[in-house]
Amino acid sequence: MDILTISTILRNLVPIGLVIALLLFLRLGIKAKSVRSAQAELSIFIVIWVIAELLRAMLLLGILQTNPMFEFLGIVIHTISMIAFGIFMVFRFYRYSAGR
């Protein structure tokens, strides 16, 4: 078994790992006590991020047909998740600092 075969096998496992992560974080978000809890906010962010990465992985593997608009949608979703994460971190840091 050469490096190219191992790389192909691992590349094909990425979408499976992303679906597992998506299901786990959806479950964590649903089990959160409130939407404003850190668990819920972080879960929502990670779910958005995983969806964007899943779309990108499926495009790279050729599972989905690629067109420029679809690729742009993945970039937009990824950007939104990064902005949401930044807001989440600033808000949590501010609340933690203000409480001391």
Please tell me the distance from the alpha carbon of residue 63 to that of residue 21, in angstroms, as a whole number. 19
pLDDT confidence of residue 18: 93
pLDDT confidence of residue 24: 95
pLDDT confidence of residue 100: 61
pLDDT confidence of residue 1: 64
Full pLDDT tens readout for the chain, 100 residues: 677 788 888 888 989 999 999 999 999 999 988 887 878 888 888 888 898 888 888 888 888 887 788 778 878 887 887 888 888 888 888 877 876 6
Q: What is the pTM of this model?
A: 0.71
Give me the residue spans of the domains in the chain: 3-98
Query: Strand runs (DSSP E) across 20-95, as ranges?
Result: none
Please tell me the distance from the alpha carbon of residue 51 to that of residue 63, in angstroms, as a whole number. 15
Contact predicate 78/52, CB 8 Å: yes
